[in-house]
Amino acid sequence: MPASTASEQPAGAARQLRFSGVQVDHRDGDGRPFRVLDVPEFTVAPGALIGLRGPSGSGKTSLLHLAAGLFSPDAGSVGWGDVAISTLPGAARDRWRRETVGFVFQDFHLVPELDVLANVTLPASFSGWRRTAGQVARATALARRMGLADLRRRAAVLSRGEQQRVAIARALFNAPALILADEPTASLDPAHAAEVGALLVEIAAESGATLLCASHDQALLARMQHVVAIGDGPLHLKEAA
Amino acid sequence: MNPLPMVIADLRALRWTAAAIVALVALAVAIGVAIGAQERGLRQASARAADDFDLLIGAPGSQTQLVMSAIYLQPEALPLIDGRLINELSRDPRVAAVAPLAFGDIARGHPVIGTTLAFAGRWGRLQPSEGRLFTREGEAVLGADVTYRLGDKIEPSHAIAGHWPKRGVADAEEASHRHEGHAYVAVGRLPRLGSPFDRAILVPVESVWEVHGLGNGHAGEDAALGPPFDGQRIPGVPALVVKPRAVADAYALRARYRQGGTMAFFPAEVLVGLYRTLGDVGQVLSVASVLNAVLILAAIFLLLVAVTGLRRRRYAVLRALGAPRAYVLLVVWLGMAGLVAAGCLAGLGLGAAATLAVSGLFEAQTGLRLSFALGRPELAQVGLILLLGSLAALIPAALSYRQSITAGLRG
């Protein structure tokens, strides 16, 4: 188990993320099974910044979901250090995810009815009753770091670039050791995409967290230490172009 | 964990729908509450109005009609019984008190009731709130709601059965039947009884007889009011109220005066029959109101299931951010149960308001004051609706609990 952490303390240090013999099967419209993902062996070093590249449907999102423990593979295992994520029972897995993972989505998925501060501190409500002054301070600092000044604005009125900044601040709120980003810049115009991509990579590097980022965005992939291609043979790390 | 921020966000997203749901539940609850409370209120008020009428004696005919006329003062032309019965009964050792009720006149729409001093004070139970009770012929005591003032001259008219005059106004019909040359003077006012007698003008029965040219029932012009009546001729009255000394006496008297040209009965007997009918109607209405509530809850339930389906993605995102299953379950459940609970509370208030409004109308019509209180049956009914609503809300909550996160994220 990772060190149990209160949300305002830094999470446990990043560990090695390891996929072994992972297979994920789906069924197509006619009920015939087909393999979505086949990863014989794939290891990510602690604190590495990894880009995932591959055509649509190649399994990038499934790989991120596996890493977050959102579902279990049909075969093989996913491990975080000595934690076998893929076999953790439900409640323990929820807890591990809450304490370890920060997730950034392509479509932000903020709660439009809540203001910026409430969106950023939302993960605190999963475990605590009241948000502490320390949590508010941390959320405020994160929002400032992301270039958000007014914390009282409702998410519904923010621009898309601002929304993704809020989403990144939310993902970082629990000081995750593993940041997973699924096409974080795909819904943004090029100028916003560059800013947000840069912030994401910067902050991940600062915090020492492992970053796994699926993207088509060449500029974003170029900021990573390594880029992995999915969909053409076994996964292997390549130096970013 | 604290799901409230998300619950509030969900409710805000629903906004007008949420308000409509609360309003619908409130209406359903209010109808049930109002029906129940109204029925009980009517029962209690009508029973209270009959409190001082232990045994009624009148000419053979409809008991219900005599009750309606003597206790609830609905004008009807009734046959009279021999006035000598008053003397006979006041000598009877089984009788604690007896009083005639002579109705048939009105003044400004208020019924004028001839009776005795003792009954005007409800056998000593009432003290006038203003002035005094009548002590001689031509004096009148006013019910709490009578529009005359003390010292006013009251000119009685002959009431026409079936003519329902507006109170406080002497209309043309009333003016055309005035007993010319006769008038009462208001000398006192009674405290509020919550019964139709609040609108009545009580006068000595001797005066009513005089007004109709029947003499005063006594041998002399200036005899003391009330029984015994020693006149050559004692005029008849439509009803006698008898207060028996004991329960056994009551039954004996009832048996005795069921023969020989009179009928005698306990008003409670008539009321029990009426209540049975009222209760049946009330039961039909409350079954209808429960069905109505169930239909509304079912419609709301389907609506909320649909809403929850539309929010699959939102809840999957929460789970991907680390929310435990129980958190999502609580968010869905609290939101729905909260709406139903708010509706139930609002419904209690609305039901109370509706009951008061209907009671006001009813009192204006009949003079019966219905006291309103939320009774255990109403609270139980609301509790049942709340329970059913909360249980029903568990179903969509459980559905989102079982929802696969990856499927939800795909939308």
Contact between A166 and B314 under an 8 Å Cβ cutoff? The reply is no
Tokens 């000593």 belong to: B124
Residue A229: how many other CB atoms lie within 10 Å:
15
As given in the structure block, the two tokens for residue A218 are 């060449």
As given in the structure block, the two tokens for residue A116 are 């910026």
Residue A195: how many other CB atoms lie within 10 Å:
17
Contacts of B406 in chain A (CB under 8 A): 62, 65, 70-71
Name the residue among B9, B318, B323 with its Cβ closest to that of A114. Answer: B9
Quote the pLDDT of residue B83. Answer: 87
Helices within B261-411 (DSSP H only) = 267-310, 312-320, 325-366, 376-402, 405-410
- Counting every residue written for chain A, the total comes to 241
Give the DSSP H/E element, type plus range, for residue B251. helix B247-256
- The C-alpha atoms of residue A202 and residue A142 are separated, in whole angstroms, by 13
Contacts of B409 in chain A (CB under 8 A): 65, 70, 105
- As a whole number, the mean pLDDT across chain A is 87
As given in the structure block, the two tokens for residue A30 are 């006619």
From the number of C-beta atoms within 10 Å of its C-beta (0-12, 13-18, 19+), residue A226 rates as middle
% of chain B with per-residue pLDDT over 90: 34
- The C-alpha atoms of residue B277 and residue B260 are separated, in whole angstroms, by 31
Residue, of B288 and A158, whose pLDDT is higher:
A158
CA dihedral B288, B294, B297, B299 (to 10 degrees): -90
Quote the pLDDT of residue B230. Answer: 81
- b vs e for A48-70, b when ≥16 Cβ sit within 10 Å of the residue's Cβ? bbbbbbbeeebbbbbbbbbbbbb
Quote the pLDDT of residue A5. Answer: 35
Whether A125 sits inside 8 A of B9 (CB atoms) is: no
Q: Is residue A6 very low, low, confident or very high in pLDDT (cuts 50, 70, 90)?
A: very low
Backbone angles phi, psi at B88, to 5 degrees: -60, -45
Residue B109: how many other CB atoms lie within 10 Å:
20
- The C-alpha atoms of residue B145 and residue B131 are separated, in whole angstroms, by 15
| pLDDT tens, position by position, B215-240 | 888 877 777 887 778 877 888 899 99
Contact between B309 and B400 under an 8 Å Cβ cutoff? The reply is no
Contacts of B314 in chain A (CB under 8 A): 109, 111
Q: Is residue B368 very low, low, confident or very high in pLDDT (cuts 50, 70, 90)?
A: confident
- Up-side HSE of residue B371: CA atoms within 13 Å toward CB? 11
Q: Give the bridge partners for A211, in sequence order.
A: A49, A179
In this model, does residue B119 exceed pLDDT 50? yes
In this model, does residue B43 exceed pLDDT 90? no
Residue A29: how many other CB atoms lie within 10 Å:
5
Give the DSSP H/E element, type plus range, for residue A228. strand A226-229
Q: Which domains does chain A have, with CATH numbers?
A: 17-239 (3.40.50.300)
- The C-alpha atoms of residue B18 and residue B335 are separated, in whole angstroms, by 10
Whether B3 sits inside 8 A of A70 (CB atoms) is: no
Tokens 């109370």 belong to: B352
- The C-alpha atoms of residue B243 and residue B140 are separated, in whole angstroms, by 23
Which residue from A118, A110, A85 is spatially nearest to A2, judged by alpha carbons? A85
Name the residue among A62, A101, A122 with its Cβ closest to that of B5. Answer: A122
Most A CBs within 10 A among B11, B321, B330, B334, hence the mutation to make, goes to B321
- Residue B232 one-letter amino acid: Q
- The C-alpha atoms of residue B59 and residue B61 are separated, in whole angstroms, by 6
Contact between A176 and A46 under an 8 Å Cβ cutoff? The reply is no
- Counting every residue written for chain B, the total comes to 411
In this model, does residue A241 exceed pLDDT 50? no
% of chain A with per-residue pLDDT over 70: 91
In this model, does residue B254 exceed pLDDT 90? yes
- The C-alpha atoms of residue A64 and residue A43 are separated, in whole angstroms, by 14
Name the residue among A70, A114, A118 with its Cβ closest to that of B320. Answer: A70
Residue, of A12 and A146, whose pLDDT is higher:
A146
| pLDDT tens, position by position, A45-92 | 999 999 999 888 888 999 999 999 999 999 999 999 999 998 999 889
- Spell out which chain A residues touch chain B, with contact meaning CB-CB distance below 8 angstroms: 62, 65, 68, 70-71, 90-91, 94-95, 97-99, 101, 103, 105, 109, 111-114, 118, 122-123, 125-130, 170-171, 174
Contacts of B31 (CB under 8 A, 6+ apart): B289, B292, B293, B351, B354
- What number is the ipTM of this complex? 0.88
In this model, does residue B120 exceed pLDDT 60? yes
Least confident piece of the model among B18-27, B59-68, B275-284, B319-328: B275-284
Per DSSP (E only), the strands in A81-175 are: 83-84, 101-104
Name the residue among A109, A113, A125 with its Cβ closest to that of B2. Answer: A125
In this model, does residue B264 exceed pLDDT 50? yes
Whether B320 sits inside 8 A of A126 (CB atoms) is: no
Quote the pLDDT of residue B248. Answer: 93
Contacts of B318 in chain A (CB under 8 A): 122, 126
Contact between A194 and A219 under an 8 Å Cβ cutoff? The reply is yes
In this model, does residue B52 exceed pLDDT 80? yes
Quote the pLDDT of residue A237. Answer: 61
Give the DSSP H/E element, type plus range, for residue B38. helix B16-49
- Residue B241 one-letter amino acid: V
- Up-side HSE of residue B71: CA atoms within 13 Å toward CB? 27
What 3-state class would DSSP assign to B229?
coil
Quote the pLDDT of residue A31. Answer: 81
Please state, in angstroms and as integers, the Cα–Cα distance from residue A230 to each residue in A15, A83, A188, A233, B10, following that order. 22, 25, 23, 7, 38
Residue, of B311 and B168, whose pLDDT is higher:
B311
Contact between B268 and B50 under an 8 Å Cβ cutoff? The reply is yes
In this model, does residue B162 exceed pLDDT 90? no
- The C-alpha atoms of residue B275 and residue B371 are separated, in whole angstroms, by 17
Contacts of B405 in chain A (CB under 8 A): 65, 70-71
Q: Is residue B290 very low, low, confident or very high in pLDDT (cuts 50, 70, 90)?
A: confident
Quote the pLDDT of residue B38. Answer: 83
Whether B12 sits inside 8 A of A70 (CB atoms) is: no
In this model, does residue A20 exceed pLDDT 80? yes
Contacts of A71 in chain B (CB under 8 A): 404-406
Q: Is residue B411 very low, low, confident or very high in pLDDT (cuts 50, 70, 90)?
A: low
Task: Please give, rounded to a whole number of angstroms, the shortest distance from the CA of A241 to a CA of chain B.
Answer: 31
- The C-alpha atoms of residue B28 and residue B396 are separated, in whole angstroms, by 22
Residue of B nearest to A66 (CA): B406
What 3-state class would DSSP assign to B66?
helix
Q: What angle do CA A72, A77, A79 make, to 5 degrees?
A: 105
Whether B404 sits inside 8 A of A109 (CB atoms) is: no
What integer is the mean pLDDT of A19-31?
Answer: 86
- Residue B41 one-letter amino acid: G
Whether A70 sits inside 8 A of B405 (CB atoms) is: yes
A–B interface: beta-carbon pairs under 8 A: 82
Quote the pLDDT of residue B165. Answer: 67
Contacts of A183 in chain B (CB under 8 A): none
What integer is the mean pLDDT of A190-217?
Answer: 91
Question: For A218, left (φ over 0), alpha (ψ -120 to 50), or beta?
Answer: alpha
Contact between A85 and A96 under an 8 Å Cβ cutoff? The reply is yes
- b vs e for B157-195, b when ≥16 Cβ sit within 10 Å of the residue's Cβ? bebbeeeebebeebeeebeeebbeebbbebbbbbeebbb
Contact between B207 and B185 under an 8 Å Cβ cutoff? The reply is no
Quote the pLDDT of residue B164. Answer: 64
- Spell out which chain B residues touch chain A, with contact meaning CB-CB distance below 8 angstroms: 1-6, 8-10, 12-13, 313-314, 317-325, 327, 404-406, 409
Contacts of B1 in chain A (CB under 8 A): 125-129
Q: Which of A200-204, B159-163, B166-170, B172-176 has the highest mean pLDDT?
A: A200-204
DSSP string, B93-139: TTEEEEEEEEEEEEETTEEEEEE-HHHHTTTTT---SEE----STTE
